[in-house]
Amino acid sequence: MNGESVILGNAKSDLLDLRKKMSALILETARQVGELSRHVKPRKIRAFLRTECRLPSSELATYLKFDEKLREHMNVLQKANITYPLAKALTAADDDARREAVALIASGSTLDARDVTAIARRIRQDRYASQDLALAKRRADVAKLAGANLMRLKAGFEASLSGLIDEVDTFIARHMPLPDEDWQPDPSNPSYKEAVEKICDTATPLRQSFEVVYGYDHYLSEAEFKVADPNHPHVVVSKAWHGLNRFAQAKFGSDGGFAFDESKNAFYTYDILNALIELLADKNIQPRTAIQRKPVIAAPYKKATALKALELCAGAGGLALGLQAAGFQHLALFEKDKHAAATLRHNLPGSPVYEEDIRRDFCEFEGRVDLLAGGMPCQPYSVQGSMRGPEDKIDLFRDGVRILKQVKPRAFIFENVRGFNAPVFSSYRAELLHGFEAAGYETDAFILNAEDFGVPQSRNRIFLVGMARGELNRYRRPPRKTSHQSSIGAALADLMSANGWSGAAAWSEQFDDRPSPTVVCHASSSYDSVTNTWAQVGIDPAGIPLSGPTEEEAFAGGPGFLPKMTNAMRARLQGFPDRWKFSGGKVAQARQIGNAVPPPLGIIVGLSVLAALEGVGVDYNAVLHRPIIADEQIGQPWQVAKRLNLNGMMRDLEQDGEGSPRVAERVL
């Protein structure tokens, strides 16, 4: 370990410990202030905190609001080592932005105050960007109404209502603070008064048009529609009527905020504006708020033009299969090894395979790629490899940075063994992260274990996921664990019994409660630690037989007989489909299998990136309970949406049982 790595490694440990302590102090301060607020009047608390506790006035609002806004999320924030600027931004944010930010933090993402502000701004922009679409949908419905006069009245009303929404949007942008800003609107400002009067003048005549278009029925009161079914058309119309009245009466902004409850004076809860937008949404008048976004997607996810991927060091296609199942189409797959390249060509004939080194120019792909992916050579970082890191001549991470700069994709995924995260490589990782940043990308790094995603093998892999600067706040890590689990006993039961070994059933039952150790690319008994680890699950890892164990082999092995694994068994433990054909001799095949990314991990990480790029969410449990690829699709050209049926898998905002968010954003 060089001197720089030692310094960085020690600093990492010390700084993480300090961050943890600082976070604990912030949360404890918030807890005690919250306890005070339940027993002492707010004015007394403020004076006490300022004078007796010497708490700066600039921090008072944050700690006083913390108990109300974030108390239920204390455990999540403590695990994330929250900073004071982030706590301030979260307490100042509206409910929608705060909910989304906390969900991101719970999933393991690292946020700062700027990210919370960006989320709040995007929520506002997303809502107003939908106006044209909502108006177009509503006008299409108008065409179906009987009577040309009513059609003209309705279309005219909706056009005027859309204009009012534009005016309010402009008012908010110019005269209302963002959640992270400490100033208040000034109602005495001439431009503020003029904007309010303009909105009132627009809204007042719309009330009469509203009654003409929607009838003269008695609308529900605010108390009634708050407890009624929000999807009912009568409720939507009633909410819009009350929202329109608020704007006509100038009861908004500094005088009542934008919530239905005027007493809250809420600047960032846009209930009365959302009520008007909901009215324009679609023919069923479905709710259309910044909280609920789009309904659940119940059809296979597909686009007219698929997202394009460029993959480096593609190997036997584990990552490629997962990415294609997720919805990416490969512009090219680069793989230097001739046997692995042949494997790719056979199983993915519709994807161009370049059998060459990646130490070449990639400028031809600039602007054509949505995702750059690669499983860089792991030997420099593997305990079974050289562990020489960047000093190993086969290390290609620096080339990955160079190619990233040349291709300029929307996102990237680089994968490697857990050893890449070792302290000895701290200096090199810092260099690479700086390289990603210099190329214009923000990066998230996390470790996933394949056994947590239905692979019958314990296999930890580190993933580096990057997106263009300013876009990473859209990214959500996959959940840390899913409900889909398997075991070596269940996975290999039929293969162990295929050649007549009578002990196969007992073997399968004995090891039906655990995954296998990590499948490696060698098949040698010289690694004592590997041999002992595999013996614990009843396997002899030495050698590569062409077929499963026989009764004769078991008899010759005696009471301590341990069956060996064929390449078919190794591939199944990696999560490859049984019909996936590996090229080359048995040693070359074993090397490809051992070096591969398990396809289920490929689809999980691929879908997490696709969700960020496309603004959708994923039900990971549903994904893993279906085949990654149908047998008849192996060896066939890639076709969009046929690799994996995503029916029912794209989900809206919800929380899974493990506490990891499955959050959906606006569908683009």
Active-site residue numbers?
A: 378
In a 10 Å sphere around its CB, with 0-12 CB exposed, 13-18 middle and 19+ buried, how is residue 637 labelled?
Answer: exposed
| Strands laid side by side in the 460-468 sheet | 353-354, 328-334, 307-312, 371-375, 411-417, 460-468, 441-449
Q: Note whether 386 and 392 are within 8 A (CB).
A: yes
Give the residue from 15, 174, 19, 175 showing the smallest Cα distance to 86: 19
H or E element in which residue 461 lies: strand 460-468
Residue 142: enclosing H or E segment and its boundaries? Answer: helix 131-142
DSSP H helices in 440-523: 488-497, 504-510
Beta carbons within 10 angstroms of residue 426's beta carbon: 21
- Taking each helix axis from N to C end, the angle separating 57-70 and 3-37, rounded to the nearest 10 degrees, works out to 80
Identify the CA nearest to 409 among candidates 444, 373, 359: 373
Strand partners for 372: 310, 412
Q: How far apart are the first and last CA of the chain?
A: 48
Q: What does the alpha-carbon distance between residue 418 and residue 414 come to, in Å, rounded to a whole number?
A: 13
CB proximity list for 98: less than 8 A, separation 6 or greater: 69, 70, 90, 91, 116
Cα 329 from chain centre = 20
Secondary structure of 40-59 in HEC code, one letter for each residue: CCHHHHHHHHHHCCCCCHHH
| Tokens read off for 369 | 């790629």
Beta 371-375 vs 411-417: how paired, if at all?
Answer: parallel
The structure tokens listed for 26 are 């912030």
- Could you write out the DSSP letters of every residue in 272-323? HHHHHHHHHS-TT-----TTT-SPPP-S----SSPEEEEEES-TTSHHHHHH
Whole-angstrom distance, CA of residue 487 vs CA of residue 271:
50
Per the DSSP assignment, residues forming a β-bridge with 464 are 414, 445
Please tell me the distance from the alpha carbon of residue 488 to that of residue 510, in angstroms, as a whole number. Answer: 10
Helix, strand, coil % in the chain, rounded to nearest 5 = 50, 10, 40
Is residue 173 helix, strand or coil? helix
Structure tokens at 487: 């075991």
Under 8 Å between Cβ of 319 and 373:
yes
Element (H, E) at 139: helix 131-142
Q: What are the DSSP calls for 528-559, one per residue?
A: HHHHHHHHTTT-B-SS--SS---HHHHHHH-T
Q: For residues 668 and 122, what is the distance between their CA atoms, to the nearest angstrom? A: 13
Residue with tokens 């001799």: 585
Joined together, the tokens standing for residue 74 give 């204390």
Please classify residue 251 by burial: count the beta carbons closer than 10 Å to its beta carbon, then call 0-12 exposed, 13-18 middle and 19+ buried.
Answer: middle
Distance CA 137, CA 286 (A): 12
Q: Which amino acid is present at 80? A: A
> How far is Cα 205 from Cα 213, in angstroms, rounded to an integer?
13
